[in-house]
Amino acid sequence: MAALRLATIGTSMITKQFIEAAIESGRYTLEAVYSRSQVKAEEFKKAYRSKKAYTDLTQMLEDSEIDVVYIASPNSLHYPQAVEVLKHEKHAIVEKPMVTRSKDWDQLIKLAEKQGKVVVEAARHIYEPNFIHITQVIRTIPEVLGASLTYSKYSSRYDQVKSGEEPPIFSPRFAGGAANDLGIYVIYAAVAWFGEPKSVHAFSQQIKTGVDGKGTVVLRYDSFDVTLHYGKINTSMHSVEVYGEDRTLILDAVTGLSKASWLDACSKQVTPVELDSAAPNPLKWEAKAFADLIEEPSAPDNHSLKVRNQELSRTVHQILEDIRQQH
């Protein structure tokens, strides 16, 4: 099968990492890069041996030699750009959050179906083998009593906010903020592990730009609660604990998960869970999965992956909407 001809939107670190992962997967060739700046577009083209560089997005989308577009622009641009990508009959790989209003999620999926194209949210961690393995491990816990999931990391871009600037990731205009940026990872994990909650109770701390700098969310299930902590103005070393009656499962991270252990509730003995060592570029798993979904959408495994991950993404975006409404 011929490699997928990839084009990219955005020239930050994450686009570099995705291009490297896509090439490493052996499933893509880099056809084109897009930047608003001619200089950056040319630099990117040279650095990643892209065939073409564009500064006009419509022109790039009209290029018939492109199969799939990876979108890594500021959050509020994801939806309108993904719509344009699909209307130009190309597949869309959209960075998280794929949309910033849950009603747009339905529109996007409908449009993709109509166009016969794939649209996927690049929620990197749910494609990582260690995350998939731990999901199975959690399902073996006889009675879950609750869980606590944290992803809080001080962003150097908060320094810019302190000096009066408004980078997109902290700007309401670009749907920035902690829930959309880091909260989404722990929401994904909670829904993948425990399903859709009965109710969502959110408490957010606003910063001076008007977005949430950090947040705490309680997801209520029938017989237990899951607490989520996320923040871009603070750092936490706590990550994940899932409480069973006899033992607690402890994970070192939600994304790039590489260490897990059981803590015995009575003896306090710690037993490691065997996991793969961390991959140098963990985006390779999603790059490969997306190529499978695009190239063989009706293969049973790919179809069920698509259905499962769409359901997951939809629930995650409903929770994000709930959080925004309580902001």
By the rule CB under 6 A, 121 interacts with ligand NAP: no
**Judged by CB under 6 A, does residue 46 bind ligand NAP?**
no
Please list every residue from 215 through 244 that binds ligand NAP, using CB under 6 A.
Answer: none
Q: Which of 96, 214, 229, 288 binds ligand NAP (CB under 6 A)?
A: 96
What is residue 304's three-state secondary structure? helix
Q: Which amino acid is at 233?
A: I
122 binds ligand NAP (CB under 6 A): yes
Rounded to whole angstroms, what are the CA distances from 272 to 95, 134, 179, 247, 281? 33, 12, 31, 12, 24
Q: How far is the CB of 303 from ligand NAP (least distance, A)?
A: 24
Which stretch, 73-81, 135-143, 144-152, 233-241, contacts ligand NAP (CB under 6 A)?
73-81
C-alpha–C-alpha distance, residues 240 and 60, integer Å: 42
Stretch that binds ligand NAP, among 35-43, 111-119, 141-149, 316-324 (CB under 6 A): 35-43
Binding-site member from 4, 7, 72, 108 for ligand NAP (CB under 6 A): 72
Give residue 42's Cα distance to chain centre. 28
Query: Helix or strand or coil: residue 6?
Result: strand
Closest-CA residue to 10 (of 69, 65, 59): 69
Contact between 117 and ligand NAP by CB under 6 A: the answer reads no
Count of positions on this chain that bind ligand NAP (CB under 6 A): 20
Cβ of residue 244: shortest distance to ligand NAP, in angstroms?
30
* Pairwise CA distance, residues 118 & 21, whole Å: 19
What is the SS3 assignment for 97? Answer: coil
Q: Which residue number, 177 or 244, has a Cβ lying nearer to ligand NAP?
A: 177
Is residue 3 within 8 A of residue 29, CB to CB? The reply is: yes
Indicate whether 171 belongs to the interface with ligand NAP (CB under 6 A): no
Residue 125 binds ligand NAP (CB under 6 A): no
Which residue from 230, 323, 275, 309 is spatially nearest to 137, judged by alpha carbons? 275
Pick one of 20, 43, 74, 321: the residue that binds ligand NAP (CB under 6 A). 74
Closest CB to ligand NAP among 168 and 172? Answer: 168
Question: CB-wise, 43 or 225, nearer to ligand NAP?
Answer: 43
The nearer residue to ligand NAP, 53 or 190, going by C-beta atoms, is 53
- Are 192 and 242 in contact by the 8 Å Cβ rule? The answer is no
- The closest of 18, 27, 124 to 67, measured between CA atoms, is 27
Strand 212-220 to 199-206 pairing:
antiparallel
Q: Give the nearest distance from C-beta 208 to ligand NAP in angstroms.
A: 18
Nearest CA among 203, 207, 190 for reference residue 147: 190
Residues that bind ligand NAP (CB under 6 A): 10-12, 14, 35-37, 40, 72-75, 77, 95-96, 122, 124, 168-169, 181
